[in-house]
């Protein structure tokens, strides 16, 4: 799985004028399933994100995880993380998992995060979404379970 993790002071996602998810301090996670991903990859990624020490302590060092600060997670499916862009100028997305697997693994990812006792808000799989955020830091990380 691929994910872009952004430390935020707030974030929200809207579909057709309806807010489907909104968080305060925490993480916005854009996530993409790949064809070779397994349920173990999903659980590993969720666990790693929960424990990433990217929030500042009292000394200004990144020593706290989203778990430590009791933050929330906004999880948004984003197949475009699998973009193939080297050839031509229009990216291709055939490297992403097929939609049925992508949705199943996105749902599993959200479930794994909730098992870790997070408030988890979501977008809507396959929808045209508008995502708003205030990136804190900015802190943005690229994670790929294939690495």
Domain positions in the chain are 2-139
The yes-or-no answer on residue 80 being catalytic is yes
Read off the pTM: 0.94
Q: How many CA atoms lie within 13 A of 108 on its CB side?
A: 18
* Residue 83 three-state SS: coil
Number of residues that this document lists for the chain: 147
- Annotated catalytic residue within 55, 79, 105, 118: 79
Distance (Å, rounded) from C-alpha 93 to C-alpha 142?
18
In this prediction, residues 61-69 reach a mean pLDDT of: 96
The yes-or-no answer on residue 20 being catalytic is no
The band of 58, judged by pLDDT with boundaries at 50, 70 and 90, is very high
The band of 117, judged by pLDDT with boundaries at 50, 70 and 90, is confident
Phi and psi (nearest 5°) for 76? -130, 125
The yes-or-no answer on residue 38 being catalytic is no
Kindly tell me if the per-residue pLDDT of 28 is higher than 90. Answer: yes
Region 2-139: CATH code: 3.50.80.10
- Annotated catalytic residue within 78, 109, 118, 122: 78
Here the tokens at position 43 are 């659980």
Residues whose CB is less than 8 angstroms from the CB of residue 90 and which lie 6 or more positions away in sequence, other chains included = none
Taking Cα atoms as reference points, which of 38, 47, 17 lies closest to residue 124? Answer: 17
Peptide bond into 28 cis (omega under 30): no
H/E element holding 19? strand 18-23
- Annotated catalytic residue within 9, 38, 80, 130: 80
């Amino acid at each position: 799985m691929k994910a872009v993790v952004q430390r935020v002071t707030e974030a929200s996602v809207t579909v057709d004028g309806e807010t489907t998810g909104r968080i305060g301090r925490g993480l916005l996670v854009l996530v993409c399933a790949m064809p070779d991903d397994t349920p173990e990859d999903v659980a590993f990624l969720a666990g790693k994100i929960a424990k990433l020490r990217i929030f500042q302590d009292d000394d200004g060092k990144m020593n706290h995880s989203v778990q430590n600060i009791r933050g929330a997670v906004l999880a948004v499916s984003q197949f475009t993380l699998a973009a193939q862009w080297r050839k031509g100028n229009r990216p291709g997305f055939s490297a992403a998992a097929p939609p049925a697997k992508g949705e199943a693994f996105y749902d599993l990812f959200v479930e794994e995060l909730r098992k870790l006792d997070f408030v988890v808000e979501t977008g809507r799989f396959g929808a045209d979404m508008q995502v708003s955020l205030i990136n804190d830091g900015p802190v943005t990380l690229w994670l790929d379970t294939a690495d």
